Structure formats: structure tokens, C-alpha cells
Structure 1
Amino acid sequence: MVIYTIFVLYNNNLSFMKKLLLVAFVFMCSYTTVKAQAFGIKAGLNFANFNGNDADDFNVLTSFHVGMVAEMHLMDALSVQPEFLYSVQGAKTKDETYKLNYVTLPVMLKLYFTDSFNIHAGPQIGLLIGESDSFTTFESSTYDLGFAGGVEFFFADNFAAQARYNAGSTKVSDKYELKNSVLQLSLCYMF
């Protein structure tokens, strides 16, 4: 339902902020029907770049991500964590910076080895909501599908540090062979 709503909103002529607020509202409402054990907020740094045959001249772009998470325990050591994030991705060259602004929806399956340490992996869909002027000539794709995986460590009451790698599986441009590649370092606070 959330992905369908994002698709409908993207194809309507609403302002960026209205789209973002409506998607956030739908995301939060969809989780009132499931019993999440914890909700949280997260933010951190992105170290983004492009992979692919046409990615030779690109370098790492340092940017950020911020958003909300909800965790539902399936068993003692297994949980599912859907997230709703605003993430600035892209790359840079010697002369230009190429920024792609996404609303991403990763769904992580988390396997706990201890109460404070887990590994997680799962699919991620991103909806392009904005781009830098320098990227418009690339004819960017609306969606970014990919896979993410990483580790998480709870170091204090309700605080966690995460390291995650996101690998895009779809091209970010209709004209070039470029895919997103993002290393994320995050801090998370669970309520």
C-alpha cells in the first residue's frame, strides 16, 4: 500500500513538501495495523558513488540520510525493521556534483546474535523526489531498486550505531550505465 501511494503521489502535481508529508503520513498509518514493539528515528552520513560501465570519472559524494524506523519481533532473535528515510545520494566529479534526493523504504530482516548486536539485510526501494541541475541531462530514473545489508550495535539504552551498504540494482539514468552505491553510517534512537 505504501509503495502504491508513493507512485500515485509522484505522478500527481503536488509540491515536494506535500508529497513528503503525505508519504510520511501513509507510512505511519500503515503501521498502526501491526503491533510494532519499537519505533525510532535515525540519521547519519552517506558515502555515495555510482557503479557501472560509465562510472569511471565519478568520486564519492558525502551527504546524509534521516528518517523513521519501526521494529517488529518475529522470534527472540529475529525481527523485521521497515524504515522511511530521506536520503541524498549521487556522486561528484572534478567539476560537478550530482545529487539525487530519494525517499527510500528499506525493509530489513534483523538477526540478533546478542541483545546488543545484529546483522540485517533486505530489499530497498527509492523514489526520486529531486535532483541537482547538473544531473537533469542524464534523464534520471524515477525508481531505484536495490539490496541493503549491514550491522547494528546497541551501545546505550535505546541508542544504536549502524553501518550499512546499499547496492542499487536498477540504473539511475536512462542514458548511462550507472547504479547507486552507498555506504551509510547511522545513529538510531528507539522509543
Structure 2
Amino acid sequence: MNWTNTLFEVIDMRSFSNLWFWIALAVVWSSVSHWVLGVPFDMIQKARKIGGQAEVDLHDMVRINVNRLLYIGQVSGLVLLAFLSFFLTSLGIMAFFYDVEFAQAVFLLAFPMTLVGAFSLSTAKVIAEQQPEGEALYARLSKHRVITQFIGMISIFITAMFGMYQNLAVGPGF
């Protein structure tokens, strides 16, 4: 018997039964909830707690990232939206019409990330318009983080339920 055949029999390489998919899912959502509009959350906490130079640094970092997000949205937003729509539609058709498990896994990662991206753009626009300072800025960034975590929670739950269903439906004996 060939050792690669044995390895692939022992370790299932389908998406939802692969440990690497679940590790990637956890890393993606952990990273997304830590970086609020490109600013690490510990920097927000430090500015809130200490103030002074940490607060100045936070305001500068938020201003830079907000301007960057809005510039990208203004310059190439329409092209990105068209490409993203094509990509998600193609992925969704492959995933749920043609029943391709890898496409299902990528779709369940990519679609909620587009919601977070759109929400980040919206928050950046609000921050640019209102120019919040101090506690108002901390509250806006914290609210953004909580909503992002909520989207992540729902996404992980749906992905886990769908993945368990796929593993039970495709697994041995079914």
C-alpha cells in the first residue's frame, strides 16, 4: 500500500473536516476583531487608560487609516465592488448550486468579511464627517469592534453548523 493513500485515508482533506480550515477561521476572526479600522485594539485601550501621547498616537493612526480607507473607496470602490460581486456570486453558485465543498468553505469565510469591510467603510465615513475626539472616538471604535465580533460570532456559528452537517452527510455510513 502507498503511504500517501494511507495518509489521505487517515486525514480527511475535505474542507470542513480539515483542522487547517478551522484554524484559519479562528485566526481570521481573531485578527479582524483585534484590528479596528487598522488600529490595534490594545492601542485604543492604552489611549483610553493613559491618555497623553498614547491618545495623540491613536488619533493620528485613526486619521491615517480612515483617510486611507476612504481614498481606496473613492478611487477604486466601483471596480472593487464589481469584482467582489462577481467573485462572491461565482463562489456562491459553485458552493451551493454545484455543491463544491471548497467553494462553500471559502464563501463562508469571504461573505461575512465583505460585511465587515462595508461596515468599516461606513464607520470610516462617519469618523471623517464627525471628527470625534477622546471618549467619543473610543466609543465609536469600541462599537465597531463589538459589531465586528457579533458578525464573527454569527459567521462562526453558521460555518460550524454547516460544516457539521456536511461532515455528517458526507461521512462514512451515510
TM-score with structure 1 length normalisation? 0.23
Higher relative helix content: 2
* Structure with bigger gyration radius: 2
TM-score with structure 2 length normalisation? 0.24
Higher relative strand content: 1
